[in-house]
Amino acid sequence: MEVGLIGLGRMGANMAIRLRRGGHRVIVYNRTVAKAHELATEHDLIAADSLADLVAMLTPPRVVWLMLPAGAATDEHLATLIPLLTPGDIVVDGANNNYKASIAHAEQLTAHGLRFLDAGVSGGIWGLQVGYCLMIGGDEETFRFVEPLLQTLAPPEGYLLCGPHGAGHFVKMIHNGIEYGMMQAYAEGFEILRQSRYDFDLAKISHLWNQGSVVRSWLLELAERAFTADADLSGIRGYVEDSGEGRWTVQESIDLDVPAPIITLSLQMRFRSRQEDSFSAKVLAALRQQFGGHAVKKAE
């Protein structure tokens, strides 16, 4: 097949390379045009200097895959693309967009005779090597048309039409919410190990747990890599961002009256990581001192 891929960040660039290695004709565009040309030169891709240029290089029905930040960047590119495309063309949104925005995008494109798929993409920087897990929302016919691309991007059995428009990004949202909870559990467990009376080698513990234990996972493999490189993680600060999907998962649980205490608390702990010194923790310490006479640590 041929595909136009827009957005050459950490995942988009690697996806373009994997698609080309799979034999597809790949036209790439990036807001920083020089990056598209550099990548094209290195990996036998075709660089476009503008969105209009990219569209002109594709044969109808075109497939245009967006790997852009969710929100304004995706909205702006869609607004520019719509008048350039012709009825029957397909737009795939691989951003971590809110599923409600994806439903709106589907309606927007359908009104112009265009087809749309929302694609939840998981795999991070390792996707080039091991493939991407793809969670797709849309109609069966459009899904089947782009399936050769999905087969190249994903590992065996690594892609699925999850449901109608919005379903792909909904599944990816919940995937990321679960990821928050798993990461938080590992983080707390390793901190207890580190603070214990024993001098544990956390890299070796990580490796051990991946040999048949109930908690084995790819995240543990990554933990082993991190601890091997820096046993105390002294080179990094414990500041953790959230991409938005954890928040959306928590909000969805509220809207659906579904209890999700683990995911909710893991999101809250990410907020806590961004504080140099939590005022709420100061209040807790002050209250304990007031009612029980408990000692407090003086601020430096």
Q: Assign 234 a pLDDT band (cuts: 50, 70, 90).
A: confident
What average pLDDT does the structure give for the chain?
Answer: 93
The residue whose two tokens read 């809250």 is 268
**Strand partners of residue 118:** 93, 137
Q: Are 54 and 48 in contact (CB under 8 A)?
A: yes
Q: Which residue spans of the chain are classified as CATH 3.40.50.720?
A: 2-163
* Geometric angle at alpha carbon 281, from 276 and 287, rounded to 5°: 150
Catalytic residue among 42, 107, 141, 172: 172
DSSP 124: G
Note the Cα 99 to chain centre separation in Å: 14
230 vs 164, residue with greater confidence? 164
H or E stretch including 42? helix 33-43
In degrees and rounded to multiples of 5, residue 86 shows phi and psi of -120, 155
Q: Which residue spans of the chain are classified as CATH 1.10.1040.10?
A: 172-278
Contacts of residue 288, defined as CB under 8 A and 6 or more positions apart, other chains included, come to 294, 296
Q: Which CATH number fits domain 172-278: 2.30.42.10, 1.10.1040.10, 3.40.50.11540, 3.30.1120.80?
A: 1.10.1040.10
DSSP for 130-178 reads H--EEEEES-HHHHHHHHHHHHHHSPTT-EEEEESTTHHHHHHHHHHHH
First vs last Cα of the chain: how many Å apart? 63
Using the predicted structure, report yes or no on whether residue 300 has a pLDDT greater than 70. no
In degrees and rounded to multiples of 5, residue 4 shows phi and psi of -105, 125
Q: Are 98 and 125 in contact (CB under 8 A)?
A: no
Alpha carbons 99 and 106: distance in angstroms, whole number = 10
Q: Are 118 and 165 in contact (CB under 8 A)?
A: yes
Q: Are 102 and 95 in contact (CB under 8 A)?
A: no
Return the sign of the alpha-carbon dihedral for residues 286, 289, 294, 295. positive
Catalytic residue among 179, 224, 245, 252: 179
DSSP 276: S
* Geometric angle at alpha carbon 121, from 117 and 126, rounded to 5°: 150
Alpha carbons 260 and 232: distance in angstroms, whole number = 31
Question: Tens digits of per-residue pLDDT, 165-217?
Answer: 999 999 999 999 999 999 999 999 999 999 999 999 999 999 999 999 999 99
- Average pLDDT of 275-281? 75
Contacts of residue 252, defined as CB under 8 A and 6 or more positions apart, other chains included, come to 173, 174, 258
Which CATH homologous superfamily contains domain 2-163? NAD(P)-binding Rossmann-like Domain (3.40.50.720)
- Average pLDDT of 120-141? 95
233 vs 40, residue with greater confidence? 40
172 is catalytic: yes
